[in-house]
Chain A
Amino acid sequence: MKSKKPGYDRYAKYGYIFSIPFVIAFLLFSLYPTVYTAVIGFTDLKGLGMTDIHFLTDDLFRNFKTVLTNPSFQGAFKNTVVIWLSNFIPQMLLALLLAAWFTDKRSKVKGQGTFKVLLYMPNIITAATIAILFSGFFGYPMGPVNDFLVRFGFVDKPVELLRNKTVARSVVIFIQTWMWYGSTMITLISGILGISPEIFESAEVDGANRVQTFFYITLPNVKTILLFTLVTSLIGGLNMFDIPKLFQNGGPDNATLTTSLFIYNQAFSGSYMYNRAAAASMVMFVIIAILAAMMFFVMRDKDEAQLRKQIKQQQKEYRMRMKSGKENA
């Protein structure tokens, strides 16, 4: 968009100047490490304190092959997806239900502010602390959960609950749900409040009941927000680390091992297999990049794109007219 008028673009350079710090920091701390990680994935870099890289000569993709066929990585990937799915679905359902209740004019739920503050609270607390707290709660022989089970006669004597894979995984799923449904709920409430009230009013006039209003009016109108929540939660879920790491460190028997924890263990605990960890990181990177690209296409400002198109069109017409004007003269 070049302007012929002198002085019009005098300030344009500041757009570049003010973006420089961001770009430099991004190149240094984000892009370079990303490329470097990708490169390491093709090398034999391992061992504590090693930094020299030599590309693999026999088979350049050996690390990727090793990782993708590694049962531990496959299990970790499966766990990550299972844990994410089984916390996202109840989290979403609960958040939708609460959001519908809180925004329903007919119910007029009192004390909403207090409820929001309390239901959101777990989200603000350090995940590391919560993981250790819950691992204490399920402690053996005497943690609060065992105390509860024995006292109310569910079991005769304390059980080593976290030895059980299903229990351990369920607790991680519970913690994730418990930490995030409040956040999802608040995002959804703001989305629902953004729907024009007239639509709800006319639905009420037409005699729609609560359930109908929810399914035919509320849900279709918060589609974009639902998708946004889905993708952000999925990306967050694919990087789940703090809770599985400090709850049972991936155990028992790798039942709560996630891909992030797998990468961490490969690179930083004991084996120092930087190359394999890098290859695993890149596998995750590609998955997340695809998701992010999908997100981008849905989230991009449609109105703005339209407006931009119009401006370009007008400029074109203007130029054409100028041209023909000149020719006429």
Chain B
Amino acid sequence: MLKNRENLVMKIIIYVVCIFLAILSIIPFWLMIVNATRSTTEIQQHAISLIPSGYMMNNLKILLGKSFNPAVGFMNSLIISIGATALAVYFSSLTAYAQVAYNWKLRNAFFSFIMVVMMIPAQVTMIGFYQMVYKIHMTNNLAMLIFPAIASPSMVFFMRQYLQPTLSMEIVQSARIDGAKEFMIFNRIVLPIMKPAIATQAIFSFVASWNNLFTPLVLLTDQKRYTMPIMVSLLKGDIYKTEYGSVYMGLTLTVLPLIIVYLLLSKYIIAGVALGGVKG
């Protein structure tokens, strides 16, 4: 009897805490979306409201009348994120395949090297990177935000961990007997095998690239090249100082696509986090 009661109390505590945390996850975004539909006067009177108002279009008009251009930011971010993700997953898979399928002299040394450089963040090498890009006049060139993704050490690591138990060399051998070239075998046989790993890694690479502020902020000075996070940072500027509704509107525009994609793909994302923490 006592045990049951104890269990019940425990259960209640667990649910209360979990529901509280769930609300804590939702409420900031809820407030943001609601305030995006309210006029600045309404927000000034009472900044907390859970019920939407009718000033959405008005806020949008004020927002777009100034330097904030979500369409441009969206397109640039899309180009960078898709480009970087495609390069990262393809070349990381290739590098991982070289690790798993072939027996070469420097293989283990190369893998140790990958594990060591995996942890080095781009931030600490930014001064040299900026100077290099500046010298070849490539600041404001989105390619400089895309091509570095070819070398993604942590992704190589996870791709290798996935491929090692999955790849059967018999399939590769029989393809060789059928006369397939090594590069063909990778493209036609190995890449399809890696699909699940590619899917999860692609999501994380895309999100990381989409949310990246530091590198674009350093390299991009041309407004037409701004990415979404830089566009967002404009909302902090003086021109929007008194336009509360529009600022919330701008923030909402940047968050909404992410929330929708997240809710659609959450199953894979949660599974991906469980596979190996991608931390920032």
* Residues of chain A whose beta carbon lies under 8 Å from any beta carbon of chain B: 1, 9, 11-19, 21-26, 29-30, 32-40, 45, 49, 51, 98, 101, 106-107, 109, 113-122, 124-130, 132-137, 139, 142-144, 146-148, 151, 178, 180, 182-184, 186-187, 189-190, 210, 228-229, 231-233, 235-236, 239, 241-242, 245-246, 260, 263-264, 267-268, 274, 277-278, 281-282, 284-285, 288-289, 291-293, 295-296, 299-300, 308
Per CB-CB distance, the 3 closest pairs between chain A and chain B, nearest first, are A36-B128, A15-B104, A15-B102
Min Cβ gap B78→A in Å is: 14
B175 at interface by CB-CB < 8 Å: no
* A263 and B43 contacting across the interface, CB-CB below 8 Å: no
Q: In the complex, are the beta carbons of B48 and A147 less than 8 A apart?
A: yes
Residues from chain A with a CB closer than 8 A to the CB of B148 are 25, 29-30
Question: Given known contacts A122-B25, A142-B47, A296-B112, is B125 in contact with A184 (CB within 8 Å)?
Answer: no
Known: A15-B104, A137-B28, A139-B47. A119 touches B124 (CB 8 A): no
The answer to whether B192 has its CB under 8 Å from any CB of chain A is no
B-side interface mostly: helix
Can you pick out 21 interface pairs between chain A and chain B where the beta carbons lie within 8 Å of each other?
A: A15-B107, A23-B151, A25-B150, A36-B129, A40-B128, A107-B10, A109-B11, A120-B270, A122-B25, A129-B251, A137-B28, A143-B47, A190-B274, A228-B277, A229-B277, A236-B121, A260-B214, A263-B123, A292-B116, A296-B112, A296-B119
B 211-246 to A, binary, CB cutoff 8 A, 1 in contact else 0: 101100110000000001100110110000000100
Q: B151, A285: Cβ atoms under 8 Å?
A: no
Known: A37-B124, A109-B18, A147-B48. A32 touches B214 (CB 8 A): no
B128 touches A35 (CB 8 A): yes
Q: Which residues of B contact A25 (CB under 8 A)?
A: 91, 147-151
Which B residues have a C-beta under 8 Å from some C-beta of A? 7, 10-11, 14-15, 17-18, 21-22, 24-26, 28-29, 31-32, 35, 43-48, 91-92, 94-95, 97-99, 101-108, 110, 112, 115-132, 134-135, 147-151, 153, 156, 182, 186, 207, 210-211, 213-214, 217-218, 228-229, 232-233, 235-236, 244, 247-248, 251, 254-255, 258-259, 262-263, 266, 269-270, 273-277, 279-280
